[in-house]
């Protein structure tokens, strides 16, 4: 095979390539830049959450260290450190996932699919945690009742009932219920604002990208 | 010029010269999925660089330069692009080729080109696309006198690779 044969065969191999029209070029351009923007915003929000939770953890643990005087001081601090540590770890893990996805996003579709999966998990996780707020009042009342029962040192649980201060229980319950009612929509609003809307944008980009791919395959 | 007008001009130019992106994507990626992604990346890189395009050279020359730079930088990131190539297909070239035989021959040539290094690929793609030595030198950044020498070496190397592939050496 001489070089002219090679050259002609190579050139001819592109003749059957399906060329894009202006609209398709425009669409591809928009998808890439739109998904890039959504990914950047998600990354920024994860980073914000990570910094915020880290600062909050340090402040709270420091406050405990200087203000708690009970003999169980270090137990309380360790418990708080474990709780806030898990929270910060979750934020770090989320940020790390997205950060790596962006760096290695030299493949649009796999990068979109992976980011959608990761962010969707976190959005669902947040959503399920908000719904758990509904159970807090009941858990609190049960906890109070159990506290009374243990404190009275009686075997019959029904003996505890006359000692329960109904007014106090109602007060605590009201605060918790009102707090939950405010927290649920507020948290859902932030969940939507920080992640859900960008997740929807990524899903839309993926859908449009697949439509272009399908149209190309059909032609 | 407004962004909207700039985009319209850009899209028209890309529509006219998009063959360049296909060629570069095909040269640097063996898999269809990888080719699609490289196509996207080149397109976005072209758009991002278009505002600084001074129009001192032809659009196609500038487009080749940006496309090759994008492909080469991607190539550095993932060197395993050319893995999992299609299996060796021994080809004899009969006088009248069937469609399948033509396809196999094309595949063989692409596979042979895929075995060149990234710089050799850039030079040979421009040469096969009928670019002159001066333009090849401008796009790749090598001296004009060196272009001829390199092309001659690459041609010999490519023919050697083809022979090896053809006879399964």
Chain A / chain B CB contacts < 8 angstroms? 79
Closest partner residue to A6 among B23, B40, B109, by Cβ? B109
CA–CA min distance A26, chain B (Å): 7
Tell me the backbone φ, ψ of residue A31, rounded to 5 degrees: -60, -50
pTM greater than the 0.80 cutoff: no
The ipTM value here is 0.74
What local confidence, expressed as pLDDT, does residue B84 receive? 36
Closest-CA residue of B relative to A106 is B37
Condensed to tens digits (0 to 9), the pLDDT of residues A24-76 reads 787 777 777 778 788 888 888 989 989 998 998 899 889 888 887 777 778 87
The fold adopted by the segment(s) B1-85 is Rna Polymerase Sigma Factor; Chain: A (1.10.1740)
pLDDT reading at A152 higher than 80: no
Q: Nearest by CB to A22, from B12, B40, B155: name it.
A: B12
- Tracing tokens 């060796």 back to the chain, one arrives at B88
pLDDT score at B93 = 42
Helix, strand or coil for residue A107? coil
CATH 1.10.10.10 domain locations along chain B: 90-169
* Closest chain B C-alpha to A204 CA, distance in angstroms: 17
Residues of A in contact with B14 (CB under 8 A): 25
Q: Which among B43, B77, B105 has CB closest to A9?
A: B105
Give residue B37's pLDDT. Answer: 74
* pLDDT for A102 beyond 60: no
Measured distance CA(A199)–CA(A192) in Å, rounded: 9
> What is the mean pLDDT of each successive set of 10 residues along chain B, which is 169 residues long?
79 90 88 77 86 84 91 68 37 53 82 89 90 90 90 91 79
Which of A7-16, A152-161, A178-187, B158-167 is the least confident region?
Answer: A152-161
Nearest to B118 by CA among B73, B163, B64: B73
Q: Per-residue confidence at A218, pLDDT binned at 50, 70, 90?
A: low
CATH 1.10.1740.10 range(s) for chain B read 1-85
Distance of CA B114 to the CA centre of its chain: 10
Residue A105's pLDDT is 40
Does CATH number 1.10.150.20 belong to domain B90-169?
no
From the CA of B116, how many Å to the nearest CA of chain A?
A: 15
Instruction: Taking residues A123-132, report their average pLDDT.
Output: 74
Encode pLDDT of A75-95 as tens digits: 878 888 888 888 889 888 888
Lowest mean pLDDT among A107-121, A129-143, B129-143: A129-143
- A185 has pLDDT over 60: yes
Residue contact B22–A14, C-beta within 8 A: yes
Tell me the nearest-neighbour CA distance from A132 into chain B, angstroms: 42
Question: Which of the residues A104, A106, A212 would you substitute to probe the B interface, choosing the one with the greatest number of B C-beta atoms within 10 Å?
Answer: A106
């Amino acid at each position: 095979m001489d070089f002219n044969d090679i050259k002609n065969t190579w050139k001819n191999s592109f003749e059957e390539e399906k060329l894009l029209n202006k609209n398709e070029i425009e669409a591809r351009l928009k998808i890439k830049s739109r998904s890039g923007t959504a990914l950047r915003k998600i990354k920024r929000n994860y980073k914000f959450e990570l910094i915020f939770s880290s600062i909050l953890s340090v402040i709270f643990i420091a406050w405990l260290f200087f203000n708690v005087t009970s003999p169980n001081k270090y137990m309380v601090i360790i418990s708080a450190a474990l709780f806030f540590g898990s929270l910060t770890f979750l934020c770090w893990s989320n940020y790390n996932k997205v950060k790596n996805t962006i760096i290695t996003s030299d493949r649009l579709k796999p990068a979109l699919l992976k980011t959608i999966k990761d962010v969707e998990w976190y959005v669902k996780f947040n959503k399920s945690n908000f719904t758990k707020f509904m159970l807090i009042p009941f858990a609190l009342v049960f906890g109070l009742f159990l506290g009374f029962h243990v404190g009275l040192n009686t075997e019959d649980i029904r003996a505890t009932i006359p000692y329960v201060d109904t007014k106090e229980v109602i007060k605590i319950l009201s605060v918790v219920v009102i707090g939950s009612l405010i927290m649920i929509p507020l948290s859902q609003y932030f969940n939507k604002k920080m992640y859900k809307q960008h997740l929807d944008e990524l899903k839309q980009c993926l859908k449009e990208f697949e439509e272009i791919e399908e149209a190309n395959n059909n032609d | 010029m407004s962004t909207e007008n700039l985009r319209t001009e850009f899209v028209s130019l890309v529509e006219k010269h998009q063959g360049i992106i296909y060629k570069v994507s095909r040269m640097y990626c063996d898999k269809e999925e990888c080719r699609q992604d490289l196509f996207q990346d080149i397109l976005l890189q072209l758009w991002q660089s278009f505002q600084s395009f001074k129009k001192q050279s032809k659009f196609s020359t500038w487009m080749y330069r940006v496309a090759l730079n994008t492909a080469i930088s991607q190539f550095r990131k993932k060197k395993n692009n050319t893995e999992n190539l299609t299996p060796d297909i021994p080809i004899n070239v009969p006088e009248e080729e069937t469609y399948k035989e033509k396809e196999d021959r094309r595949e063989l040539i692409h596979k042979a080109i895929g075995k060149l290094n990234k710089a050799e690929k850039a030079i040979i793609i421009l040469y096969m696309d009928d670019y002159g030595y001066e333009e090849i030198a401008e796009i790749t950044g090598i001296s004009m006198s060196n272009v001829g020498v390199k092309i001659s070496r690459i041609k010999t190397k490519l023919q050697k690779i083809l022979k090896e592939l053809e006879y399964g050496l």
